[in-house]
Amino acid sequence: MEKLREKNERLGQPFEYNIVLIGFMGVGKSTISKKLSEICSMDVVEMDQLIAQREGMSIPEIFETYGEPYFRDLETNLLIEMQSKRNVIISCGGGVPMREVNVKEMKKNGKVILLTAKPETIMERVKDSHDRPLLENNKTVEHISSLMELRREKYEAAADIIIETDHKSTVEICEEIITRARA
């Protein structure tokens, strides 16, 4: 990783655009965005975290209080706001690419990178989490698999680059992102 960081320092600012990470919950968007930020000296915007902070409540509370459409509008507005930024990693919530308007906004100044993982891997990663309203009462591989299948087509259509995260270290995934995003 040190060699990768040194190489990025020699090259200066790594990207002229934002890196937008999309994918199903639990594929590693937050973990990868943090590591990529370290390697490339880029800022990170965790969409869910920023929205929760701005609203003063958790994502499940936003869903319960205002409903999913309200939350989805907050996501769209944040993507529009991010167009004024450069060289930022934007880690999107799992539902962001489901709206066509969001895909258009992501692509306006970023490369969209889809991170994928098998349903079993995702189950293992989210089994102890209570911050995922769409899984809270149905954490099974079958349910995760069916939700993933419902989203797969839109995820793939939104992506400029697709990277599998199963059985790879965070550094390996970051190296692949850097190499493929610069190509």
Average pLDDT per run of 10 along the chain, which is 183 residues long? 51 75 91 94 94 94 93 96 92 92 92 96 76 62 90 96 95 94 86
Whether residue 123 contacts residue 75, with contact meaning beta carbons closer than 8 Å, is answered with no
Whether residue 89 contacts residue 36, with contact meaning beta carbons closer than 8 Å, is answered with yes
Q: Which of 117, 162, 159, 141 is nearest to 25 (CA)?
A: 117
pLDDT at 99: 94
Pairwise CA distance, residues 116 & 138, whole Å: 20
> pTM for this structure?
0.87
pLDDT at 11: 45
pLDDT at 2: 58
pLDDT at 10: 41
Whether residue 17 contacts residue 110, with contact meaning beta carbons closer than 8 Å, is answered with yes
